[in-house]
Amino acid sequence: MEPSTTAAAATITNATNTLGGRRPIMDGRDGLKPVQLSKSTPSTRMVTKFLELKCQRHIEAVNFRDFYEDSVLHTDTSPEWLAEIAVLSVEAMDLAQYVRAWRTVARDFPDYGIHCVGMRTDVDFEKGLAVVRSDLEIEGMPAGVVRRSLGVSTFRLIEGRKWVAEKFTVKGV
């Protein structure tokens, strides 16, 4: 390749590949190794980013009080999905109970917010399981109080192609 062609290709690659809202450094110097992808087997990194984005969108839906049936709270969840959050309920909640609990929180604590300060994800393709651990800060329940918590989201791979949420647990509230 001629130098001008290489620079043009690098510019296109750099302009279109963004991770977490930042542009990666050229030539893999961002610490991420290039992976060979196939249509049949996504990379662990790709699945990790996908599941972490799903968890971020879930947090945003709660923060923006998007509790309607077409919100991300209702997408890609197993019919047996359960949530265990001690601050909301002493018992495990199904999706409908979970949404009702957040609506009550929104009414009682209008200034609450959830902020994700870090995530760690484990993907096991052989078992078809993934676990996303989110370091959370929950503020405004009550006003002026910030609680650190660990959110654990469990996903299962269905039919080898779709990741579905099965359980959400918050520890340390």
- Per-residue model confidence (pLDDT) at position 137: 93
- For the 42-171 domain, the top CATH level (class) is alpha beta
Q: How many CB atoms lie within 10 A of CB 73?
A: 19
Please tell me which residue, 42 or 41, carries the higher pLDDT value. Answer: 42
- Delimit the domains of the chain by residue range: 42-171
Beta bridge partners of 115: 137
Residue 75 has φ and ψ, to the nearest 5°, of: -100, 145
Q: Report pTM.
A: 0.73
pLDDT at 28 over 80: no
What is the rounded average pLDDT for all residues in the chain? 80
Query: Where does the chain have alpha helices with state H?
Result: 3-16, 44-63, 95-108
- Rounded to an integer, what distance in angstroms lies between the CA atom of residue 144 and that of residue 146? 7
- Per-residue model confidence (pLDDT) at position 92: 93
pLDDT digits (tens, 9 = 90+) for 100-154: 999 999 999 999 999 999 999 999 988 999 999 999 999 998 889 999 999 999 9
